[in-house]
Structure 1
Amino acid sequence: MSRRAMLGGALVGGAALALPFPAMAVGTEWRLAIRNVHNNETVDALFARNGTFLPEGLAELNHGLRDWRTGEATVMDRRLLALLVQLRDKLELSGSSKINLISGYRSPATNAALRAKGGEHTGVASQSQHMLGKATDIMVPGVTLDRLHGAALALGGGGVGYYPRDGFVHVDTGRVRHW
């Protein structure tokens, strides 16, 4: 093996190990179980192990978090996936506890339609983090929205929106803010 090939491999390997917050300890696995409330599809995916992201698990989550209206998917922000694991852990739930997904990725067409519809969707941002694969609207069975909201705020991992009338909490990896 040439020195150039070895260095290239080390750089690629190092990039694969460079994880977003929180740092992943050796022997640790990150798994997410989600259920889309609109189509009842479920995903239970192991997406990182020992500091390395697993392409198969990431692909499952990208599919599960797709725009359920159009079927379009995107590459979801790995920091968001890690934040959801952190949130579940903060709530002291098991790795197999399902997070109910109200909205994950939103295509620009879906986002524009929701903005135009108004009504309950008046809070839809024109440059939504959902369109960047950096946001989810969620609820967790057996966990009050107040508790979910408080746990998300305590993590300080990005934006947190509280929608008690609509029954969900928004979590994103944009700048830290809340509403």
Structure 2
Amino acid sequence: MNKQPSKDTKIDEDVTLASRRKFLKKLACGSLMALGGSEVAAAAVRHVIIPGRHGHSRAHAQPIHTHARQVQSRNFTQHTPTPYLHASEYKTLSFEHTHTGDKLKLTYFEDGSYIKEALQEINYLLRDFRTDDIHPIDTALLDQLFYLKQTLGVNKPFHIISAYRSPFTNAQLHKHSHGVAEHSFHMQGRAIDIRVEGVSSKTIRNAALTMAQGGVGYYPQSNFVHLDTGRFRTW
């Protein structure tokens, strides 16, 4: 007897059809949308992509080259070990990009290892939104965000102000602002500027300081906090 399609399957098909990004359609195959709730419904429910208002095409974005992925695997995963979780547990994050409107909720770490497809989706969402250039995001940075979420005791999306910046974008911003470092960690996929709805930037800064991981920059006038995977420092 043929089974009727489940509600979750229908939701997954709708999400896949809604995506304008061919490569994300392939990655989203078999995923399920978790509607509401504070956690991913189960470890098997890995991710959900909701395209933003701009609907960038994958054809205009640069691919993540094999060499770049090898660099990510060799270098980025050698940072601070996971102090909050046992290796068998899983880690989830939610993002909402303030400039593109893209939203993403996924499990990026499970059973002691990072999930390749999830990292690719994160790399895309955290791309240079001005040029659509993509770069591997340091997994240690993702872990900082995960630990920060636990420290804050919230399960809201991180609102992304800026993540990866291409050398071109960073140079242009550096020309017009002394607050943009010439050799910014943003160009290495090792920095991110964030907000959390309903949580003050000062609270986020203070929570990040208690973690004593990487750089923590506080920008109250612009209402965001900078995190990076450099040495521990604050400004």
* 1:153 aligns to 2:200 (yes or no): no
Matching residue of 1:69:
130
How far the C-alpha of 1:37 sits from its partner, in A, is: 0.3
Contact map agreement 1:20 1:78 (CA 8 A) in 2: no
User: Percent sequence identity over matched residues?
Assistant: 38
Matching residue of 1:89:
150
Matching residue of 2:46:
none
Q: Distance in 2 between matches of 1:146 and 1:19?
A: 26
Superposed, 1:47-62 pairs within 5 Å as 47-62=108-123
Q: Distance in 2 between matches of 1:99 and 1:151?
A: 14
CA RMSD of the aligned region, Å?
1.7
Superposed, 1:1-179 pairs within 5 Å as 20-23=80-83, 24-94=85-155, 97-118=156-177, 122-179=178-235
How far the C-alpha of 1:173 sits from its partner, in A, is: 0.5
| Cα pair distance change 1:132/1:18, threshold 3 Å | closer
Query: Structure 1: any 5+ residue segments left out of the alignment?
Result: 1-16
Q: Distance in 1 between matches of 2:120 and 2:218?
A: 29
Contact map agreement 1:45 1:60 (CA 8 A) in 2: no
Contact map agreement 1:161 1:171 (CA 8 A) in 2: yes
3-state SS, counterpart of residue 116 of structure 1 = helix
Q: Distance in 1 between matches of 2:88 and 2:199?
A: 28
| Cα pair distance change 1:76/1:106, threshold 3 Å | same
Q: Which has the higher contact order (CA 8 A, sep 6+)?
A: 1
Query: Structure 2: any 5+ residue segments left out of the alignment?
Result: 1-76
Tell me the TM-score normalized by structure 2.
0.65
Q: Distance in 2 between matches of 1:100 and 1:36?
A: 6
Instruction: Give deviations 1:144-177, integer Å, cap 9, x for gaps.
Output: 1110000011111100000000110000010111
